[in-house]
Amino acid sequence: MDTEAELESQIGQWRGYVARRVAITGADVDEMEDHLRNQVSDLTTAGLAADEAFLVAVKRMGNVDSISREFAREHSDRLWKQLVLMPAELDGDHARPKYELIVVLVLAFAAGLAVKIGTTLIDDEATAARNISLFVLPFLAAYFAWKRQMNWRAAATLLIPVALVAIVLNAFPFAHEGATEILAAIHAPIALWFVVGVAYVGGEWRSDRRRMDFVRFTGEWFVYLVLLGLGGGVLTGLTVAGFDAVGMNIEGVIGDWIAPFGAAGAVIVAAWLVEAKQNVVENIAPVLTRVFTPLTVVMLLALLVALATTGSVVDVDRNLLIQMDLILVLVLGLLLYAISARDPSTPPGIFDWLQVVLVISALAVDAVMLVAMLTRIAEFGFTPNKTVALGMNLVLLVNLAWSARLGLGFVRGRRGFGEVERWQTRYLPIYGLWAAVVVVAMPPIFDFA
């Protein structure tokens, strides 16, 4: 590739990156590109090579996130339009198909219908509960497969793990409401979420960048889903109260129709909202990590002090062990979202040190939990719950231990941030694999008890 073609390729990549910021329109990108080209021309005239001139010019243009925020503040009327209109109505050059909302609503309705039909046909509540993720998440995977324009062969391969989970959940002779049935029901959505992840990245599952994009999406999706749930709950409550005031009881209609369609549809709509609005306003989940990281550090340190005063880990309450596992999962989420939101080029700061303290504190809590679990297993033997909890803590232990090592190396200036990020993205499949093991292997190992 000659110098001119290479420069055009670099400018094209830069333009594509800038254009993904919805706060910046096509005309804005044209203006910025013209300014960039002028900078490159001046620098090459001054004696720099084309590739060097490009890098210097991009640096002078400034951080794209900052530019995007400046455009949003300058054009607040445009921002509000972007929050309520489909991008296709604003910028035809980089627009999604105009019928995307229709596709989303159709998939949301289909997911609700699947939940309604499935729960109606399955008499046993426990069986219906363990299949609930199969009624919804395949439609979310279908949305991303359509949006990323996956070829039909790649999209069809997503049906294989879905079918496997469906066979396992319905062919295994689980003891009614037994431990293995409950564990399979809890871990099946986790395993299927990784199927959604493959669709989200458009099949580029080997890409570290796309995996981190999925981590970022997961956090935003969860926040939007909670907000939709809260809003839907308030609206439903007001509706029921209004009908009660005129002497009509509609709680049966709410439970039989509104709830299943609303809950299933919210899963799809929340994903669409994240996709449609993620570049218009600053992401929510990374901001929340700034708030909850220091609070979680204080909580972990307080728990370590409390555990130290108990005298023996054998006496640690079983419910406390479960709560500690949930806290460790929260810590993992905070760590991942903080990493996904960080600019890799900036030097380590106070928040990075706080992240290291968070990881080391969680590592200490995990070690205490492992000792308590091993002690209980030695005294009372293996059970499905103890085995799964032990395995999850070991998976977390490996991640936290290496994260602490890499984090310390980064804040001390001995490692680049890229190593920290790559470790997390490449470790992600381990969680999906463990969830699959719990669903597929644990029930027969413990005789479906």
Would you say 315 and 375 are in contact if contact means Cβ atoms under 8 Å apart?
A: no
Q: From 133, 186, 184, 185, select the one nearest 162 (Cα to Cα).
A: 133
Q: Which residues of the chain have pLDDT under 50?
A: 1, 68, 72-95, 280-281
Q: From 275, 268, 205, select the one nearest 428 (Cα to Cα).
A: 205
Q: What angle do CA 123, 129, 130 make, to 5 degrees?
A: 110
pLDDT of residue 89: 43
* Integer CA distances (angstroms), 277 to 20, 23, 66, 198, 232, in order: 11, 10, 17, 21, 20
* Integer CA distances (angstroms), 1 to 12, 45, 349, in order: 15, 21, 40
pLDDT of residue 166: 94
For 319-356, b where at least 16 C-beta lie within 10 A, e where not — what string? eebeebbebbeebbbbbbbbbbbbeeeeebeeebebbb
Which residue bears the tokens 């333009």?
A: 15
H helices of 246-349, in order, are 251-253, 259-277, 285-308, 318-341
Measured CA to CA, the distance from residue 21 to residue 18 in angstroms comes to 6
pLDDT of residue 64: 52
pLDDT of residue 278: 61
Measured CA to CA, the distance from residue 332 to residue 324 in angstroms comes to 12
pLDDT of residue 142: 95
Would you say 390 and 378 are in contact if contact means Cβ atoms under 8 Å apart?
A: no
pLDDT of residue 88: 44
Angle at which helix 318-341 crosses helix 285-308, to 10 degrees, equals 150
pLDDT of residue 87: 46
pLDDT of residue 323: 75
